[in-house]
Structure 1
Amino acid sequence: MDQDASGSGGWRFAQCFGDKGEVEDITEADIISTVEFDSTGNYLATGDKGGRVVLFERNEQKKTCEYKFYTEFQSHEPEFDYLKSLEIEEKINKIKWCKRQNSAHFLLSTNDKTIKLWKVFEKQLRVVSESNLLDGQRSSPAPMSAQHLRLPRMAQQDNIIAAVPRKVYSNAHAYHIHSISVNSDQETYVSADDLRINLWNLDLSDRCFNIVDIKPVNMEELTEVITAAEFHPLHCNLFMYSSSKSNIKLADMRDSALCDKHAKMFEEEEDPTNRSFFSEIISSISDVKFSRDGRYILSRDYLNLKVWDINMENRPVKIIPIHDHLRGKLCDLYENDCIFDKFECVWSGDDKHVLTGSYHNYFRIFDVETLNDVVLQADKSAFKAKKIGGPLPGNKGGMKNGMRPGGMRENMALETLDFNKKILHASWHPRENTIAIAATNNLFLYSAA
C-alpha cells in the first residue's frame, strides 16, 4: 500500500450491495453475519442470519476493483434438536474458501452445529431443438424416406450456476461452532466451539479428531472458553486459539495427538490498578488472525487491537486503542449487552495495515508501523453522495472523501452514537487495497486511491 492509502484522502467508497432505500424495513434474516474474500480476491462471499450464502464475482469489464452478483443459495435451514429441546438457528457463523483446484469453487459454511462443504460450478442447460414430434409432444407422420427423418439435436439454451453440498460434517460439536479454518495443506480444517477444537479431513464427513479439549470434569470449575481458532498460513502443523482469559495459545500437532499442552502462550500481565468489575469481559479476545507471512498475530478484545510477534510471548509489540472513548460507558454497555459484542480484526494483503470495526458503523484502518489511522463510516449517505456528487459522510468544509483530520474521530466520541449499528465483520482483498464491510444488511466496498 502506498503512503497515501493510509492517509486521510486515500480511501474512497466504491460500491454497496443491499437495501439502498429510505425505508428501514430490515428483517433479522437479512443481517450479514460473515464476509470473506477467496484467495484470489476475484470472488467474495457473504453469509446472513437467514442461512443464505451470496457470492459476488469481480467485474472484469471495470478497470477498478468492482464486483457483481454471482449466485445465491440457501446453505442452512433452521433445525430442532429434540434430544436437548433446542432450536438450532440457520445463521451462518463463518465461511471459508478452499483454494481453487479446477473450474468449480469449494467453500465451507457453518451454523452453530453443522458444517457444509459446497461446490459451486457453472452448468450448461441443453434442450432438444429438433425431433420427430409435432409441437414436442404428438408424433409426426412416418417419413416418406430416410432424407425426411429428423435426428434429435441438442442445443445449448443457457448457463446456470449451481451450488450442491458435497459434504455435511455434523454431530461433532456439543457447543456452538464459532470458528473454522482451512489448513495450508488444503486437506484438513479445524472447527472450534467454546470448549473443543476438532480436526477434520475435507474428504471424510463421518469422523473427526478432537485435538483440544478444555472441558473440566466438573462444569462448575469452568473458568475460560475458547473464542477463536486459526491455522498458521504456512506451517500445516501449527494452529492457534484464543481464550476469554485474554491469552492466545499456539499449538503444534507434531507434539501429541491431543494438543492440551501448548507450544507457546501469548499473554500480557494485567495492571492491577486498572482492574474493575468489567475487566474479565472486556479483556476476552473476540478474534485472532495470523499475518499473511505467519510472523505476527493480530488480536482484538473489546477495547484494543494488539499485534504480537510470534517469537515474543510476554507482551504485544503494538497495542492500538479502539474504544478508549467508551471506557466511561461500560455500565451502559453492560446493560444493553453491547459489551459482549465480538468485533473481528483483519490484516491487509501486504501485512502493513490492520482493520477493525466500531459502533455507529465506524471502522478504522491502522498503519502497523506508524499507527497512523483513518476512520471511515459505512453509511448509506456514501452512495447517495456519489450519485449526486456531494460530500461523503463527515465531510465538513467539502474536504476529499469526507475525511477531515480528527473529524470522524471526534464523531466517534459523541453521545449520539447508535450502538445498534456496528461493524463486526470485514474482509480485506488478498492482493489489492479493497475492503468489504458488513453493515447490518448492506455490504460496502471501499478501495484505496
Structure 2
Amino acid sequence: MSANTTVDLQQVSATSLLRFATAGSVDDGKSTLVGRLLHDSKSVLTDQLEAVEHASRSRGQDAPDLALLTDGLRAEREQGITIDVAYRYFATARRRFILADTPGHVQYTRNMVTGASTAELAVVLVDARNGVVEQTRRHAAVAALLRVPHVVLAVNKMDLVDWSEPVFAAIAEEFTAYAASLGVPDVTSIPISALAGDNVVEPSANMDWYGGPTLLEHLETIPVGSDPSDEAARLPVQYVIRPQTEQFRDYRGYAGQIASGVLRVGEPVTVLPSGHTSTIAGIDLLGEPVDVAWAPQSVAVRLADDIDIARGDLIAPTAQAPAAVKDVEATVCHLNERELRVGDRVLLKHTTRTVKAIVKDITHRLDIDTLDKQERPGSLKVNDIGRVVLRTAEPLALDAYAVSRRTGSFLLIDAADGTTLTAGLVGEAFSGGAAHGM
C-alpha cells in the first residue's frame, strides 16, 4: 500500500475469520457436533477420516465416531471425554474459522476460559432430554464474564425427544432468560441432531417447524469484527528496530502488532508508562510506508522525537492515552494446581510488558453456579474465579477489559519457574447476576 492510499475503514472492519468456542456438559454430544461440522463441511482430510474409521472399528462401532476428530489425546479416547482445549482450523467458501473445542467437566473450567478468551462466538450445547443444567449455566456465566459477543444455544439430540418443538422452545426460553440476566447481548437457539446431522450443515427434514439457519449457516453469516476507528489505538512495543547499515543509519522504528484502533501519520502520541509525547513521523507496513495502519496489523512506527522507548512500552494517541497505574483490581481465573494466596509475589504479564507484582488481597471467590460470593477466601484454587487486588512494582498502562479484551487482560506468572498461574480481566466482574461489577 502506498502512502497516498485512501483507506475505507468500514470495509477494513469486515472480516472473513471467525473465532468460536464450543462448550457443553459431559455426554451432550459436543465432540460429535464438532466432528459432524468438520465432516459435513468437507473439512476433514482423507487420512484423518480413515484413522477415525479405523479407531471406530477397533471399538466395535459400525459407523465412524466423528467425536474422535476432536478428542485427539490418547487419554481422551480411552476415557471417552474431552480433557484439553482442541483447536481446529477449517474454512468454507464464505469464511475461515478457528474453533476451540473446550471440555465440559467442572474441573476443566480453566480450559473453557482459555478457549473462550479470544472467541467472538460461543456454541453452548445442551441435551434436549436434560435441558438447562448446572454446567449449562456455568458455561453461560463464563461466556458473559469473558464478554463473548455472540452465543448460540445448540439443543442437541432432538431425535431422542421425537423432534419436539415444545421441548426445544422451553429450553430456548429458559436459557435465553438466564443469559439475559448475565448481560449476554445476543443468543441464537438452534435445534440439532449432531449424530444424524440435522441442522448442523444441512437443514433438517425432521423439524419443518424450525425456520431459522443451520449452525454452519449462522457461523458463516454472523457479523464479526468492528470498525477499528471506534476503538482507542494501542501499540504495545515488541521490538526496537535500529538497522546497523549506512543507508538506514538514522532509522529507529518501534515495532509491534496494533492491539486496537487506528494509527495515523502526523498524530500526537504518548509513550507509556513514561508519559513522553511526540508525533508519528512515519508508519512502515511490510517494509513500505503507509499513512494509516489499524489492528491487528504488525507495523513499525517512527516518531518525530528521539525518545527512550523499549519493549513493553505502549504507544497511544495522546487524546486517548490510558493512565499508568500500579494498583490493579481484576477478576481472575486461577489456572494452576498451586493455590494463589494473599501475599504471593508474582510476575504480571500485560501485552509485551512484564513487571513484578504482589497479591494484596483476594476480596472474594465466585460460585460460578449460583453467582454467590465467598468473602475474603484467602486463596484461590485451580479453576476458581475470584476478585483480586494487585500492586505492581512498575506502572502499567491498562484498559478495562470491557473496553478492550486485548489490553484489558493479563497473566500472573510464577517468578521462580515461569509457570502460568492466573488469567486476569481488568475491572471485570459480576454484580447482581450480571457482568458489570463484582
Give the TM-score normalised by structure 1: 0.25
Q: Higher strand share goes to which structure?
A: 1
Higher RCO, 1 or 2 (CA under 8 Å, sep at least 6)?
1
Kindly name which structure, 1 or 2, has the bigger radius of gyration based on alpha carbons.
1
Give the TM-score normalised by structure 2: 0.26
